[in-house]
Amino acid sequence: MAESADPARRSIGAKRNPDSAEAILEAAEAVLVEAGYAGFSIEAVARRARAGKPTIYRWWPSKAALLFEVYQRQKRVEVPDTGSLEEDLAGFLKNLFAHWRETSSGSVFRSLIAEAQSDETAAAALAGYAAGRSAHTGRIIERAKARGEVAADIDQAVVADLVASYAWRHLLTNRLDEPEAAIREVVRYLLRGIQAPVG
């Protein structure tokens, strides 16, 4: 499913040359693969792409903006629409963990979260991205509301934040090999609650 636009993807200045932009993004991906986050810099990308740093900064105002676009290019996670909220959420988390685990996108996103701890531009980009993803996941809840699976007064943004919190914790602690049974248990807790029956 295609990702929605977010602030990190907006370029500034002159219109991008598609060929040059593609070369820069491919170079950025290559630098990340070869050098990791620690070795990633606009200078390294410029050398690899044979592009000027001013060109890169004209289209991506910060290292974080470039990293977010690289992440968006790599992220292709299927969001199931099975007619069951439990199946949709479990399937989404399973697909997300597999994607983070099996591609470099997991390490890229961990790097972006790390960058956001000390860089205001990265923090703003991350907040914008997270809001977009919350709305995206919230649509799963909206579909369930329309089917009558979820109470009408449930705030889908809160549920989306709970799902994201679970996913991000596993990403940041490198626990992306969570068994499907464990994922399903978490989804059941989320949907059914943990309070003991009264009486």
180 CB neighbour count, 10 Å cutoff: 12
Q: Does domain 8-72 have CATH number 1.10.10.60?
A: yes
- For 27-43, the pLDDT digits (tens) are 998 998 888 877 889 99
pLDDT of residue 122: 86
Average confidence (pLDDT) over 146-167: 94
Q: Is the pLDDT of residue 10 over 50?
A: no
pLDDT at 68 over 50: yes
Cα gap 74→58, rounded to integer Å: 22
Using CA atoms, how far apart are residues 94 and 92, in angstroms rounded to an integer?
5
For 132-149, give the DSSP string.
HHHHHHHHHHHHHHHHTS
Q: What is the CATH number of domain 76-192?
A: 1.10.357.10
Tens digit of pLDDT for each residue in 158-172?
999 999 999 999 999
Report the pLDDT value the prediction gives residue 69, as an integer from 0 to 100.
87
Q: How confident is the model at residue 15 (pLDDT cuts 50, 70, 90)?
A: low
| Ranges of CATH 1.10.357.10 domains, the chain | 76-192
154-177: b (≥16 Cβ within 10 Å) or e: eebeebbbebeebbeebbeeeebe
Q: How far apart are CA 85 and CA 9, in angstroms?
A: 30
Residue whose entry in the numeric block shows the structure tokens 């070369």: 23
* Local confidence band at 5 (pLDDT 50, 70, 90 cut-offs): very low
Is the pTM higher than 0.75?
yes
Outline which parts of the chain fall under CATH 1.10.10.60: 8-72
* pLDDT over 60 (residue 181): yes
Chain centre to alpha carbon of residue 29: 16
- Please report, for residues 11, 26, 114, the alpha-carbon distance to residue 21 in angstroms, rounded to integers and kept in the order given: 11, 9, 25
